Amino acid sequence: MLDHRIFLSNRDSVLNNLTNRGVDQSAVTELSHLADARREAIQAVESLRAQLNIASGQVQEKARAGDMEAVETTRNQLKSLKSEIKHRENEQEKVQNSMEELLLTVPNLSSTSVPVGNDEADNRVDRVVGEAPVFDFEPQSHWDIGENLGILDFERAAKISGSRFVVYRGAGARLERALINFMLDLGSEHGYTEIAPPLLVRTESMLAAGQYPKFKGDSYETLDNEYALIPTSEVPLVNLHRDEIIDEQELPLRYTAFTPCFRREAGSAGRDTRGLIRQHQFNKVELVVFSKPEESYNELERLTGNAEEVLKRLGLHYRVVSLCTGDLGFGASKTYDLEVWLPAQNTFREISSCSNCEDFQARRGKIRYRPTAQGNKKAKPKLLHTLNGSGLAVGRTAVAIMENYQQADGSIRIPEALVPYFGSESIPAASATS
């Protein structure tokens, strides 16, 4: 959530930033008006309180002078001032509540290093790594490969749960498990503490992570709305330190977690209806960092590099893209997307998003750190910065392996780095489900 004070200190810049992010102009105008109304209400209360203090002193002076008629008049004035102060405080509270409710629906401010643009067409490709594989046959899509090998079963998944679900069978399930363990071990190698968090979270956890109220309709909630299934393990990881003050010496804190993730994909009707790219349930290994503000952009580069290392060790061709202002996620100030090459689609597809949310989530969740004391004076707590990234989306990584390492006979070669986890060098066409 944004700090309401920025609408007074640097209004034009903030409003322009939000406009670049695609925030509706009426909301931008309303925020500006509420900021003015809040300031005016505070000033009115302060002015009335000053008058109240003066009048209170006058009562005592006039009482000592024996002017009881003036005392009574001033007491009536005091009563009127107190009534007006209460009225103005109620107005201030209403304005404050209205502003906070609106701010919960407003995205984070973008970093000055983010390219300005309307949508994904305006994103900037920062670098391309590796080379696309060359086939002497027509490469197949992952859903055809998976069904031919008997390792992906979309038909039975639809019978069980409906569309946008999959059953992994045999070597398919083993590939998914191998990728999860490979990614978690790589996270540990990079200094992340592994967490196994709850998959059901309370409303306040979704709110702190920036999922509510903006994405309320995209998550799965229990019938009593007390819990929601996590759309990403970013939610429980960010909430590990909600309402806490962390000592500066402990930062940065780096966590990783494997969890299933659950999303309605309500905003993606008609997109990627076949295959594993867009599922209601999918596995992901997440990376989350708690950082001092002055170090957070260095941490973003580090986190992105950690996610890239998965792709490098698997020998996958990919590119790093800086998202423009109009394509940024709701809570992000800056995001790098990692896009992996999919031969059958002849294009790059997102496999990870690595973002710096600055203090957006920390303000919602009251996550602070206490700077190291200078001398004997105890330092005042400050909001820290949070970062998150997929390290990686497991199903999409399986897609990339199936499509990039497919062989002419229909088998799949397993990347060398993954062989110790998978247990063999290939998924043979003749015995894929063994």
Cα 382 from Cα 42, distance rounded (Å):
24
Residue 434 confidence (pLDDT): 42
Query: Is residue 70 over pLDDT 80?
Result: no
**Catalytic-labelled residue, pool 40, 84, 221, 350:** 350
Catalytic residue among 39, 75, 177, 278: 278
**Tokens 């905003």 -> residue:** 267
Asked whether the predicted pLDDT for residue 53 surpasses 70, the reply is yes
Q: Is 278 designated active site?
A: yes
pLDDT in tens, 303-344: 999 999 999 999 999 999 999 999 999 999 999 999 999 999
Taken in order 423, 429, 432, 434, the sign of the CA dihedral is negative
What average pLDDT does range 131-141 have in this prediction?
96
d(CA 336, CA 328): 9
How many alpha carbons fall within 13 Å on the CB side of residue 216?
A: 10
* The two structure tokens encoding residue 252: 């940065």
193 forms beta bridges with: 255
Residue 269 has pLDDT above 80, yes or no: no
- Distance between CA 6 and CA 35 in Å, rounded? 9
Domains delineated in the chain: 6-103 (1.10.287), 120-427 (3.30.930.10)
Model pLDDT for residues 81-121, shown as the tens digit of each residue: 888 888 888 888 898 889 888 889 999 999 999 999 999 99
> What contacts 1, CB < 8 A, 6 or more positions away?
100, 103, 104, 106, 360, 363, 364
Among 82-91, 117-126, 416-425, the range scoring the smallest mean pLDDT is 82-91
Q: How far apart are CA 282 and CA 280, in angstroms?
A: 7
Q: Which listed residue (111, 353, 355, 411) is catalytic?
A: 353
If we measure between CA atoms, which residue out of 61, 4, 64 comes closest to residue 32?
4
39 is catalytic: no
What whole-number distance in Å separates Cα of residue 261 and Cα of residue 285? 10
pLDDT at residue 270 above 60? no
Which has the higher per-residue pLDDT, 103 or 183?
Answer: 183
Which one from 21, 38, 254, 263 is the annotated catalytic residue? 263
Q: How confident is the model at residue 345 (pLDDT cuts 50, 70, 90)?
A: very high
Q: Are strands 227-229 and 200-202 parallel, antiparallel or unpaired?
A: antiparallel
- CA-to-CA dists, residue 39 to 4, 9, 109, 227, angstroms: 10, 12, 22, 37
Going by pLDDT thresholds of 50, 70 and 90, the confidence category of residue 432 is: very low
Q: Please confirm, yes or no, whether 396 is among the known catalytic residues.
A: yes
CB atoms within 10 A of CB 84: 15
User: Which of the following is catalytic: 322, 390, 396, 411?
Assistant: 396
**9 catalytic residue (yes or no):** no
The stretch 14-40 carries a mean pLDDT of 86
Query: Is 164 a catalytic site residue?
Result: no
What integer best gives the mean pLDDT of the chain? Answer: 91
pLDDT at 135 over 50: yes
Q: What is the pLDDT of residue 30?
A: 86
